[in-house]
């Protein structure tokens, strides 16, 4: 670090110390042409995609409790046939077939355990605003203010009048608000006639109709609908993929329309609201369902659902004048905890043009700032205490049969959704995942007993709010994804991480059954191999395949690297945290210790890569999107260039072999991996790859590569939110790491461990680190730290080092007494 650690002056690209609070605006200069062009707003439960039309506006609305299906009523039901020894007998036969070197027969055997599919996340309604008198495109601009949580559209009508529309979804008021206003500087005129309508892709149980008697107040309409009782995944062929009429979520929507202006009026006509003469039009929407998230149950009281929606709407209308201010204060209080500036201003261009220029090689560090904060924004807008966890699309989806059912894909994607919450100082937004895990572990206990005859709990690669935990399919899904019982073991790491960041012992003890149960299951699933080691059989490496000697692809094997990495990571955390959790079971401790002594660690293959399989077999798809065998690099913390240099080098070779392109979410994961491996050039390449615009022009020949849509939503393609959230975590990992403890137990804080040369100057404030630490301030110039301040909510001593320096300085931090990091000499 420079000697002058407090110097904050200077200017220019390599000298400016940015000030926090610069507007974080996503900007596009035309209305949405597709759903992925729209901007998302939300409050954790209620979400909307704002299309930004002038004469015709569409708000596509979701409620996070709206899923197909209903709570499960019994254990998983394998398709079979199983035989007299039941499902555990199937597992034993598959294990024997693997021992006999017949993995394809083992796959066919395991297909008997498949038990159906998860349910699908559902759209709720569309709010349509039709206002021909406001039509126009002159001066058009729409923005999403990440810091305020407001989508704004401004334009001039064909007659020259200025218009502004703001859309937000308030957490304090649990309501959506659209406000469309004629510029006050326009002394005459109004918006003419406008119509506000509700539509839904689902049949109405009761169509939109006036609630209450006509009067001078706002027009309020209410509608109800029943969600499908069953929806098959979009890739499953079936004559009746969407079914209504059985047990399902019941939903109600209440919509109020207010009009201001001399002579303004509102009237409900055939379930729609006609507005005349309004200079300001406000639409308030609330929703309710009978889906009790905490219990994972349906209460079934239809009258209560309608009453809840109407009561929420009337409360919001009563306080409508302060609703926007309450929302902005609430949203900004969360998003404003972390500030990042990479020392470069935002060019005065719309987002799509900036993405194209950036892809052509034009530097634009501010794009990375927007993408970093966009991930935090989506977390705040999509995950709040009391809601369900973020699914594959967060809380935003317009399809009855969305891609992959918009479910919880727990062999990477759901976990990635929550990678930025703790480092991004949004610990309360982590709670929906932890609460759901408590219920998932209970359901997974039945699956563990039924399918494997083991203790604890298991979950496979897909789940939903009803806590489906079985292998997907009806005997036809690929074993490469379906036959993987370690979803619970991976998810349990989030309980561990929550404690390691926050130090919340009460939360650790409350959720400890998730961790303990996952550990019991993996202990029982381990088998002794011929060499005396412990391993897993049957095993897969999620969604990947290898080639048999005759060239046929196979997925089931013995002791895949990812299996052993996840198991080792889990058991090490159980051994470390059991005392803090109040778990003093000596039998468990002995079993964990014994298993860890016999578990193999990762190995380096002859070609220098980190081996993915127990034996050296060819890859069926060398550039595969999953890299689960690198689990202990990231999200694990056990392999890095200091602690395991040979394995870290092999992990880097693995990433090299995977190639430069992949799906959007895989690029985000690779970004975090490269950062953990302290590879600034790799970080730079992956930032550029992630920010590749997938919809900037004609489709490229061959498979469509991942990146982002013009709205900055991540493209698998199609849209998946996990990439947006994983990108945020990867950027944070490039700026600071605090996962390592030295031999003396002192935590290391590594500043700028993987800073790319494209970000020579910058400042970050507010990132949270393991051990209860907070990076209160970090300023760098010319790639060198010039100021670093640490805070802590408890007394702690840390070793601080800087990128490129081996020397460390110990810094003591106490509550209320920040630690100013002194210069660290180069060594």
Joined together, the tokens standing for residue 237 give 């062929």
For 569-578, write each residue's pLDDT tens digit. Answer: 999 999 999 9
Does residue 736 sit in helix, strand or coil? strand
| Sheet containing strand 150-156, strands side by side | 25-28, 138-145, 150-156, 162-170, 175-182, 280-289, 250-260, 219-226, 204-210
pLDDT band at 438 (very low <50, low <70, confident <90, very high): very high
Within a domain: 650 = no
63: Cα within 13 Å, side-chain hemisphere: 29
Task: Write out the residue range of the structural domain in which residue 277 sits.
Answer: 33-67+120-335
Which of 319, 335, 351 is at the close of a domain? 335
Closest CA to 679 of 655, 699, 663: 655
pLDDT surpasses 90 at 818:
no
Average pLDDT over every residue of 145-170? 97
Within a domain: 8 = no
Of how many residues is the chain composed?
Answer: 827
Does 128 share its domain with 234? yes
Average pLDDT over every residue of 35-54? 98
Does 207 share its domain with 86? no
Within a domain: 293 = yes
Q: What does the alpha-carbon distance between residue 438 and residue 409 come to, in Å, rounded to a whole number?
A: 17
Does 99 share its domain with 125? no
Does 310 share its domain with 437? no
Average pLDDT over every residue of 311-322? 97
pLDDT band at 824 (very low <50, low <70, confident <90, very high): low
For 784-815, write each residue's pLDDT tens digit. Answer: 999 999 999 899 999 999 988 888 899 999 99
Q: What is the CATH number of the domain that holds 236?
A: 2.70.98.50
Does residue 306 sit in helix, strand or coil? helix
Within a domain: 504 = yes
Does 168 share its domain with 214? yes
pLDDT attached to residue 215 = 63
Within a domain: 434 = yes
pLDDT surpasses 50 at 18:
no
Identify any residues that bridge with 42 across adjacent strands, giving them in sequence order. Answer: 47
For 178-212, write each residue's pLDDT tens digit. Answer: 999 999 787 777 889 999 999 999 999 999 999 98
Least confident among 205-214, 272-281, 482-491, 589-598: 205-214
Does 584 share its domain with 444? yes
Average pLDDT over every residue of 33-39? 97
Q: Label residues 524-556 b or e (16+ Cβ within 10 Å = b).
A: bbbbebeeeebbbbbbbbbbbbbebeeeebbbb
Which of 584, 599, 620 is at the close of a domain? 620
Counting residues of the chain whose pLDDT is more than 90, the rounded percentage is: 90
Q: What does the alpha-carbon distance between residue 388 and residue 395 come to, in Å, rounded to a whole number?
A: 9
Joined together, the tokens standing for residue 765 give 């404030």
Count of domains observed in the chain: 2
DSSP string spanning 748-810? EEEESTT--TT--SEEEE-EEETTTEEEEEEEEETTEEEEEEEEESS-EEEEEEETT----EE
pLDDT attached to residue 22 = 57
DSSP string spanning 339-403? EEE-S-PPPSS-HHHHHHHHHTT---HHHHHHHHHHHHHHHHHH--TTSPPPBTTBT----SS-G
Average pLDDT over every residue of 138-163? 97
Joined together, the tokens standing for residue 738 give 């605090």
Does 97 share its domain with 195? no
Does residue 142 sit in helix, strand or coil? strand
Residues near 156 by beta carbon (within 8 Å), at least 6 away in sequence: 136, 138, 139, 162, 163
pLDDT attached to residue 68 = 98
pLDDT surpasses 60 at 729:
yes
Q: Give the global pTM.
A: 0.96
pLDDT attached to residue 822 = 66
Which of 586, 604, 620 is at the close of a domain? 620
Does residue 635 sit in helix, strand or coil? coil
pLDDT attached to residue 549 = 97
Q: What does the alpha-carbon distance between residue 361 and residue 758 come to, in Å, rounded to a whole number?
A: 11
Q: What does the alpha-carbon distance between residue 708 and residue 713 come to, in Å, rounded to a whole number?
A: 5
pLDDT surpasses 60 at 3:
no
Task: Give CA 289 to chain center in angstroms.
Answer: 24
727: Cα within 13 Å, side-chain hemisphere: 37
How high is the mean pLDDT of the chain?
A: 94
pLDDT surpasses 50 at 20:
no
pLDDT attached to residue 817 = 82
pLDDT attached to residue 743 = 87
Helix (H) / strand (E) containing 321: helix 320-335
pLDDT surpasses 60 at 168:
yes
Does 90 share its domain with 229? no
Q: Dihedral of the CA atoms 56, 62, 68, 71 (nearest 10)?
A: -160
User: Is-contact 617 605, C-beta < 8 A?
Assistant: no
Residue that wins the pLDDT comparison between 124 and 793: 124
Residue 685 exposed, middle or buried by CB count within 10 Å (0-12, 13-18, 19+): middle
Identify any residues that bridge with 46 across adjacent strands, giving them in sequence order. Answer: 63
Does 267 share its domain with 315? yes
Does 151 share its domain with 296? yes
Q: What does the alpha-carbon distance between residue 278 and residue 262 come to, in Å, rounded to a whole number?
A: 8
Task: Give CA 606 to chain center in angstroms.
Answer: 36
User: Is-contact 810 796, C-beta < 8 A?
Assistant: no
Within a domain: 46 = yes
User: Is-contact 83 90, C-beta < 8 A?
Assistant: yes
Does 319 share its domain with 453? no
Average pLDDT over every residue of 350-356? 97
Within a domain: 639 = no
pLDDT attached to residue 11 = 33
Does 139 share its domain with 172? yes
Helix (H) / strand (E) containing 811: strand 809-813
For 56-87, write each residue's pLDDT tens digit. Answer: 999 999 999 999 999 999 999 999 999 999 99
Q: What is the CATH number of the domain that holds 494?
A: 1.50.10.10
User: Is-contact 689 723, C-beta < 8 A?
Assistant: no
Q: How many CB atoms lie within 10 A of CB 265?
A: 13
pLDDT surpasses 60 at 327:
yes
Within a domain: 391 = no
pLDDT surpasses 50 at 251:
yes
């Amino acid at each position: 670090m420079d000697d002058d650690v407090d110097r904050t002056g200077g200017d220019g690209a390599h000298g400016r110390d940015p000030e926090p609070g610069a507007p974080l605006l996503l900007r596009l200069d035309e209305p949405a042409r597709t759903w992925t062009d729209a901007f998302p707003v939300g409050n954790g439960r209620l979400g909307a995609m704002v299309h930004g039309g002038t004469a015709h506006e569409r708000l596509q609305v979701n409620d996070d409790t709206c899923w197909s299906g209903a709570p499960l009523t019994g254990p998983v039901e394998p398709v079979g046939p199983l035989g007299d020894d039941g499902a555990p007998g199937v597992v034993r036969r598959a294990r024997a077939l693997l021992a006999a070197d017949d993995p394809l027969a083992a796959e066919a055997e395991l297909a008997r355990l498949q038990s159906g599919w998860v349910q699908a996340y559902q759209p709720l309604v569309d709010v349509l605003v039709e206002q021909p008198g406001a039509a126009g495109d002159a001066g058009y601009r729409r923005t999403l203010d990440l810091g305020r949580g407001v989508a704004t559209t401004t334009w001039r009508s064909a007659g020259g009048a200025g218009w502004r529309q703001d859309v937000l979804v308030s957490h304090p008021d649990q309501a959506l608000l659209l406000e469309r206003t004629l510029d006050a500087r326009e002394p005459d005129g109004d918006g003419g006639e406008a119509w506000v309508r509700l539509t839904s892709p689902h049949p109405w149980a009761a169509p939109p109709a006036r609630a209450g008697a006509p009067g001078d107040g706002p027009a309020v309409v209410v509608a109800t609908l029943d969600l499908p009782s069953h929806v098959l995944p979009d890739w499953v062929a079936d004559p009746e993929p969407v079914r209504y009429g059985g047990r399902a979520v019941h939903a109600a929507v209440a919509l109020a329309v207010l009009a201001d202006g001399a002579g303004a009026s509102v009237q409900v006509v055939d379930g729609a609201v006609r507005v005349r003469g309004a200079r300001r039009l406000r639409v308030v929407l609330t929703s309710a369902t009978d889906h009790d998230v905490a219990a994972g149950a349906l209460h079934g009281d239809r009258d209560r659902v309608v009453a809840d929606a109407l009561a929420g709407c009337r409360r919001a209308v009563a306080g409508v004048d302060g609703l926007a201010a309450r929302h902005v204060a609430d949203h900004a209080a969360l998003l404003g905890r972390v500030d990042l500036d990479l020392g470069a201003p935002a060019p005065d261009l719309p987002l799509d043009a900036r993405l194209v220029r950036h892809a052509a090689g034009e530097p634009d560090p501010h794009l990375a700032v927007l993408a970093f904060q966009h991930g935090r924004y989506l977390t705040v807008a999509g995950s709040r205490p009391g809601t369900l966890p973020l699914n594959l699309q967060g809380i935003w989806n317009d399809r009855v049969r969305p891609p992959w059912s918009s479910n919880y894909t727990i062999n990477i994607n759901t976990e990635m959704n929550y990678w930025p919450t703790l480092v991004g100082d949004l610990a309360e937004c982590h709670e929906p995942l932890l609460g759901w895990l408590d219920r998932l572990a209970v359901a997974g206990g039945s699956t563990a007993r039924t399918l494997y005859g083991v203790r604890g709990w298991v979950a496979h690669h897909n789940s939903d709010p009803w806590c489906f935990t079985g292998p997907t399919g009806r005997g036809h899904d690929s074993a490469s994804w379906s036959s993987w019982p370690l979803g619970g073991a991976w998810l349990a790491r989030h309980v561990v991480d929550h404690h390691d960041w926050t130090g919340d012992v009460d939360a650790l003890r409350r959720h400890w059954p998730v961790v303990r149960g996952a550990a019991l299951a993996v202990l029982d699933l381990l088998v002794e191999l011929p060499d005396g080691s412990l391993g897993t059989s049957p095993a897969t490496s999620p969604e990947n395949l290898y080639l048999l000697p005759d060239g046929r692809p196979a997925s089931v094997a013995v002791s895949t690297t990812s299996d052993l990495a996840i198991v080792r990571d889990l058991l090490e955390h159980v051994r470390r945290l059991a005392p803090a959790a109040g778990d003093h079971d000596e039998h468990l401790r002995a079993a964990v210790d014994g298993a860890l002594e016999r578990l193999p660690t990762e190995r380096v293959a002859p070609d220098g890569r980190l081996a993915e399989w127990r034996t050296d077999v060819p890859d069926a798809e060398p550039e595969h999107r999953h890299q689960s065998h690198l689990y202990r690099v990231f999200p694990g913390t056990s392999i890095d260039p200091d602690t395991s240099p040979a394995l870290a080098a092999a992990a880097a070779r693995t990433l090299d072999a995977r190639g430069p392109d992949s799906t959007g979410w895989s690029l985000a994961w690779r970004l975090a991996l490269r950062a953990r491996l302290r590879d600034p050039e790799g970080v730079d390449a992956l930032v550029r790859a992630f920010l590749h615009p997938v919809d900037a022009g004609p489709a490229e020949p061959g498979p469509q590569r991942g990146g982002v849509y013009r709205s900055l939503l991540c493209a698998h393609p199609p849209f998946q939110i996990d990439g947006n959230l994983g990108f945020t975590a990867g950027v944070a990992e490039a700026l600071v790491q605090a996962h390592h403890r030295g031999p003396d137990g002192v935590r290391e804080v590594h500043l700028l461990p993987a800073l790319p040369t494209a970000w020579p100057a910058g400042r970050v404030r507010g990132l949270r680190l393991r051990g209860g630490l907070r990076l209160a301030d970090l300023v760098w110039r010319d790639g060198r730290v010039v100021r670093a301040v640490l805070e802590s909510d408890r007394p702690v001593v840390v070793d601080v080092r800087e990128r490129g320096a081996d020397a460390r300085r110990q810094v003591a931090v106490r509550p209320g007494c920040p630690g100013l990091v002194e210069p660290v000499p180069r060594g």
